[in-house]
Structure formats: structure tokens, C-alpha cells
């Protein structure tokens, strides 16, 4: 595991910091159970990590490693249920919440899948829970694009070679290997982070006289990122319960809406969320203020350690003042462009090399401190840009519910073919009126999409 994956795995020691990801794949029909099981077994062959479990070093100092689960049993990971009446979207999301609340057995690979039949509609869904250390959004997309077939009758390709992972490494071997790797790689990654930081300072300064002001601005920004006071007092409480909400929309319409303000799909979806939170604050008599928004930044640079979960992060302050959707979209687009030019994202990612050598209590306390001030965590992931099938059923849409990690809400936008799915993992202790909040999200989806198609208003 790399440094970020190590932190994600060990944060499971605190229920409020767990980094599991729940996906819901909606299907146009119920696949035959035997064919579905055959497909799942095939996937564990072509994606060998699905048969690997995590082995920790003594005292949990150093990096964990992946090892083959010699007693792997597909029946322990794959199940099926029938949704309670009326078997609609709310019942499906309730099931996803329950699956998300379940705890992984550390002696098994950290994933599970549930095939859910949706009442009398003849449709179905697959609820998938996996630990974030297995893959990030980019890794999931690569796997889905490569493996999901284009037709109902597609045959399964032969699985690849067995997993290349230690089968009988002793705990002390794991510790020695991991510690040596951490001590060897941390200086290099931090040095590269420092190089990116210095290059960013130089690039952003138009003249030597600008450099002191730029340094001062970045130092202030780094301080705000660590102890950002801009979080909303209305959303300050935290709990362990989760409430899932979801909205689907045409991807082309969302892209077109973003273009009306020269902004991206990511900016358009954050505008939806920021508008919903602004409305929610006014509903509760708290107009104005700011929302603390965490935005991931991919900092893969092609180095030997690049793979899954190579990301940095920035914390931004979104305005909750009342404004029209076009003005808010333009403001969010400009905010994201400024943020992604800062070298702080690469620096924060470099520091993750130190995570494996941190004592777990220190890691947990630091994560609660930095993550608890984030009102909204966001992520935008492009999905499979074409029709796709699994076990003969067509995949209609993909919803992703990301980990909150002590935040008030996590919003993930993932596209599939022509549909964009927005999944929300909401903390009911922070957002106490979840029903009203869900309606406000729907309202703001309509307002943003209407920028490209006024007939929607």
C-alpha cells in the first residue's frame, strides 16, 4: 500500500473515519443468479486484488501489504435480496445505507456485492461496498471501461495470472519491508513536493517583486487548509449515521450548463451543491456565510509509486450568499481554476509518505482535526462512456456514495454513458432536515440545467 492507502485502512479504527465506498449500479433486468455468480467469480480472476486481504506489520508501524486469501470464498462476499415493497428508489438507497454501515472482516478481502431485485418492475440493482484502499475513482473507471462488455451475450475472457502478492510473509518481514520502503521513499516524495511548490511560486509570480506576496499568500492558504475556520456553524455537529440521497440527470445537459459560464462539469455539480446548501441555510434562518469545501486534485506524475489513491487535496471557501445559478457557476468555476494552479495540492500529497510511520492514535486525531472542519467533500469521476452490461443485464446508471470521514456531506458525481449520477452521503447530525435538503438539491439541479435549456424553468 502507498501512504494514502495505509491511512485509509487504519482510519477504520474510528467508525466516524471509515473510508468505505458504496456504489449502486441500476440494471434494466434481473440477471440470472448463476450467471451473475459466474461473472463475479470471473471478475475476481481478472482483478486479482479482489482475492487479496490486508496484512498488517507488528504495532501497525510501516506499510501494510496485500496477501492472497488462501481460504477465499465467493459466497462470503456476494449475496442477493429482494427489496421491501414498493421496491423503489428509496428502498434501494436504504439497502445501500445498510450495506455501507456493515463492517468488513479483516481476515477477508474488503469488498462485498448485493444483487437487489426491485419489486414488480422487473429491474434490479447491484449494491457494491469496497474499501477505498482497493481503488480510487480513476482506478474504478479503468476497471469498468476495460472489463464491462458491450453486449448482453458477450463471453467471459479467461482470467489473468494469479495475484503477485506474498502468501506466507511473517509479520516481521512485512514490517521490515514496509519500514524500509517508507524511510526510503518519504524524502524523495517530499522533495518532489517541495520542487512543485517552488516551481509553482516561480510560475505564478510575474516579476521578482511579486514573490514575497505570493509566498505570504500561500502560507496563509496552507494555514487555512489545516485549520479552516470557515465551516458553517449550522452544520457543526457530527454523528455516525448516514443518509443517502441521489439525483440523476442528462450528462450532455450538465456539460452544456457548465459551458454557459465557461466552466467544467465539476464546477456545475459543485454549483448545484453550493446552491442547495445556501438555500438550506436560508430555510433555517442562517443566510450568508461560507461553506468549507474539500476538492481532490490528481497529482500522479508518472513516477514508480503512481497507481491508485495518488491525490492531493485543497479546502476552499464557497459563498453561501444568495445569487443566481449563472453567477454562482461563474464564481465556482473561477475558484476551481485558481485552486488547481496552486502547488499546495502536490505538497499535501507528498506528505502522505509519512502516514505509515505515524502511530494510529496520532493519525486518527489529526484526521478528525483536519477533516472535521470540512462541510462538503466533493469528487467528480468520469465513468464508462458507452453502453455496458453485466451478466446479460444493461447497466443504466452508476451512483457512488463516498466516505464522509467526519465531514457533514460527501457528494460524488459519476457519469455512465449519457447519464450523470449524483450520490450524496449526508450526516443527519449535521444536516438535520435531510428531506428538505434532498428537495433543495433537486431544485438546484433544475436551476443549473435550465442555464442550457430555459424551457426547464
Q: Mean pLDDT across the stretch 358-371?
A: 87
Residue 175 has pLDDT above 60, yes or no: no
φ, ψ at 260 (rounded to 5°): -65, -20
Phi, psi values for residue 82, rounded to 5°: -115, 130
| Helix residue ranges, H only, 86-125 | 89-101
| pLDDT at res. 185 | 52
- Residues 6 or more apart whose CB falls under 8 angstroms from that of 22 comprise 96, 99, 100, 127, 128, 129, 244, 400, 401, 425
Nearest to 296 by CA among 318, 281, 312: 312
Q: Which of 161-165, 329-333, 353-357, 419-423 is predicted with the least confidence, judged by mean pLDDT? A: 161-165
| Residue 199, C-alpha cell as written in the block | 516551481
| Residue position matching grid coordinates 451475450 | 153
Which of 105, 130, 8 shows the shortest CA–CA distance to 63? 8
Range with lowest mean pLDDT among 154-158, 177-181, 330-334: 177-181
Alpha helices in 104-169 (DSSP H): 137-147
| Maximum alpha-carbon separation in the chain | 70
pLDDT for residue 252: 96
Residue 205 has pLDDT above 80, yes or no: no
Position 374 pLDDT exceeds 80: yes
Q: Is the pLDDT of residue 167 over 50?
A: yes
Which of helix, strand or coil describes residue 296? strand
Q: What percent of the chain has pLDDT over 70?
A: 77
Residue 218 is predicted with a pLDDT of: 47
Q: Compute the distance between CA of residue 216 and CA of residue 209 in angstroms, rounded to an integer.
A: 13
Which pLDDT score is estimated for 312?
A: 59
Query: Does 304 have pLDDT greater than 70?
Result: no
Question: 402 or 230, which is more confident?
Answer: 402
The three-state DSSP-derived secondary structure of 225-268 is: HHCCCCCCHHHCCCCCCCEEEEEEEEHHHHHHHHHCCCCCHHHH
Backbone angles phi, psi at 398, to 5 degrees: -125, 125
pLDDT-based confidence at residue 378 (cuts at 50, 70, 90): very high
The DSSP code for 18 is -
What is the torsion angle, in degrees rounded to the nearest 10, for the CA atoms of residue 210, residue 211, residue 214 and residue 220?
-130
pLDDT at 160: 57
CA distances 88 to 17, 85, 119, 253, Å, are 30, 8, 7, 25
User: 49 pLDDT exceeds 50?
Assistant: yes
- 143-157, 233-247, 318-332 — which is least confidently predicted? 143-157
The pLDDT value given to residue 222: 45
Amino acid at each position: 500500500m502507498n501512504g494514502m492507502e495505509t491511512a485509509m485502512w487504519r482510519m477504520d479504527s474510528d467508525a466516524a473515519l471509515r473510508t468505505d465506498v458504496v456504489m449502486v449500479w441500476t440494471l434494466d433486468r434481473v440477471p440470472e443468479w448463476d450467471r451473475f455468480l459466474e461473472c463475479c467469480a470471473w471478475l475476481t480472476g481478472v482483478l486479482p486484488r479482489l482475492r487479496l486481504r490486508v496484512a498488517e506489520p507488528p504495532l501497525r508501524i510501516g506499510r501494510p501489504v496485500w496477501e492472497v486469501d488462501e481460504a477465499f470464498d465467493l459466497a462470503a462476499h456476494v449475496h442477493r435480496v429482494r427489496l421491501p415493497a414498493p421496491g423503489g428508489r428509496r428502498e434501494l438507497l436504504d439497502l445501500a445505507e445498510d450495506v455501507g454501515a456493515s463492517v468488513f472482516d479483516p481476515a477477508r478481502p474488503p469488498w462485498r456485492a448485493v444483487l437487489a431485485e426491485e419489486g414488480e418492475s422487473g429491474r434490479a440493482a447491484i449494491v457494491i461496498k469496497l474499501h477505498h484502499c482497493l481503488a480510487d475513482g480513476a482506478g474504478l473507471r479503468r476497471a469498468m471501461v476495460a472489463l464491462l462488455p458491450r453486449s448482453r451475450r458477450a463471453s467471459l475472457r479467461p482470467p489473468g495470472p494469479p495475484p503477485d502478492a506474498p502468501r506466507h510473509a511473517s509479520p516481521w518481514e512485512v514490517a521490515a519491508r514496509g519500514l524500509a520502503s517508507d524511510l526510503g521513499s518519504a524524502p524523495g516524495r517530499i522533495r518532489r513536493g517541495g520542487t512543485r511548490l517552488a516551481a509553482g511560486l516561480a510560475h505564478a509570480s510575474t516579476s521578482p517583486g511579486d514573490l514575497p506576496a505570493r509566498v505570504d499568500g500561500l502560507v496563509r492558504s496552507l494555514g487555512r487548509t489545516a485549520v479552516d475556520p470557515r465551516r458553517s456553524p449550522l452544520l457543526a455537529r457530527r454523528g455516525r449515521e448516514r443518509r443517502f440521497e441521489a439525483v440523476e440527470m442528462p450528462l450532455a445537459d450538465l456539460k452544456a450548463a457548465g459551458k454557459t459560464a465557461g466552466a467544467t462539469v465539476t464546477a456545475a455539480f459543485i454549483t448545484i451543491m453550493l446552491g442547495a446548501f445556501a438555500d438550506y441555510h436560508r430555510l433555517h434562518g442562517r443566510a450568508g456565510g461560507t461553506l468549507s469545501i474539500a476538492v481532490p486534485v490528481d497529482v500522479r506524475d508518472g513516477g514508480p509509486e503512481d497507481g491508485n489513491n495518488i491525490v492531493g487535496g485543497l479546502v476552499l471557501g464557497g459563498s453561501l450568499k444568495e445569487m443566481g445559478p449563472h453567477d454562482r457557476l461563474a464564481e465556482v468555476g473561477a475558484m476551481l481554476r485558481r485552486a488547481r494552479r496552486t502547488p499546495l495540492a502536490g505538497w499535501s500529497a507528498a506528505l502522505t509518505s509519512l502516514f505509515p510511520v505515524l502511530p494510529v492514535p496520532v493519525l486518527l486525531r489529526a484526521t478528525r482535526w483536519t477533516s472535521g472542519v470540512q462541510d462538503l467533500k466533493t469528487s467528480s469521476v468520469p465513468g464508462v462512456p458507452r453502453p455496458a452490461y453485466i451478466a446479460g443485464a444493461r447497466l443504466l446508471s452508476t451512483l457512488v456514495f463516498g466516505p464522509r470521514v467526519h465531514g457533514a456531506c460527501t457528494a460524488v458525481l459519476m457519469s455512465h454513458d449519457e447519464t450523470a449520477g449524483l450520490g450524496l452521503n449526508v450526516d443527519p447530525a449535521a444536516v438535520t432536515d435531510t428531506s428538505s435538503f434532498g428537495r433543495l438539491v433537486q431544485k438546484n439541479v433544475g436551476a443549473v440545467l435550465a442555464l442550457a435549456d430555459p424551457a426547464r424553468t
